Amino acid sequence: MSRGKIIVVGAGAWGGWSAYMLQHAGYEVTLVDKAGPGHEKAGSGGKTRIIRMAYGGSQVYTDMVDLSFQLWEHYCEAWGQDLYHEKPSLWMFRGIDPAYATLSQPLMREKGYVLDEIDLREVATRYPQINLEDITSAFYEPKVGYLEASRACKVVKTEFEKLGGTYLEDKVISLEGHGRVEAVLTEGGKRLKADQFIFACGPWMKELFPELDPVIKVTRQEVYFYEEPERHGGEDLPIWLEFREGDRMYYGIPDHFNQGFKLAYDQRDWLLDPDHDDRGVTEPIFEEMSAIVVNRFPALQGAKLLKHHTCVYESSLDGRYIMEQAGDFANATILCGSSGHGFKMGPAVGQMVMQYIRDQKAFPREFRSDRLHHHKSMTSPYEV
Ligand X SMILES: Cc1cc2nc3c(=O)[nH]c(=O)nc-3n(C[C@H](O)[C@H](O)[C@H](O)COP(=O)(O)OP(=O)(O)OC[C@H]3O[C@@H](n4cnc5c(N)ncnc54)[C@H](O)[C@@H]3O)c2cc1C
Whichever of 124 and 306 has its CB closer to ligand X, that residue is 306
Does residue 253 contact residue 148 with C-beta atoms inside 8 Å? no
What's the CA gap between 247 and 261, in Å, rounded? 23
Given candidates 5, 26, 35, 132, which one binds ligand X under the rule CB under 6 A? 35
Q: Does the protein bind ligand X through residue 264 (CB under 6 A)?
A: yes
> Which residues, in sequence order, are CB contacts of 68 under 8 Å at separation 6+?
51, 344, 345, 346, 347, 348
Binding mask 160-199 for ligand X (x = CB under 6 A): -----------xx---------------------------
Give the Cα separation of 292 and 278 in Å (integer). 24
Q: Per rule CB under 6 A, is residue 113 in the interface with ligand X? A: no
Q: How far does the chain reach from its first CA to its final CA, in angstroms?
A: 47
Closer of 72 and 299 to ligand X (Cβ): 72
Residue 371 DSSP symbol: G
Is residue 10 involved in binding ligand X (CB under 6 A)?
yes
- Residue 238 backbone phi and psi in degrees, to 5: -85, 170
- Binding residue for ligand X (CB under 6 A) from 311, 322, 334, 348? 311
Can residue 342 be called a binding residue for ligand X (CB under 6 A)?
A: yes
Binding of residue 220 to ligand X (CB under 6 A): no
Which region among 252-260, 286-294, 299-307, 333-341 touches ligand X (by CB under 6 A)?
Answer: 333-341
Of 50 and 212, which has the nearer Cβ to ligand X?
50
Rounded CA-CA distance 115/108 in Å is: 8
Query: Cα separation of 83 and 77, whole Å?
Result: 10
Radius of gyration of the chain (CA): 21
**224 touches ligand X (CB under 6 A):** no
Residues that bind ligand X (CB under 6 A): 9-15, 32-35, 39, 42-44, 49-50, 171-172, 200-204, 207-208, 221, 223, 264, 311-313, 338, 340-344
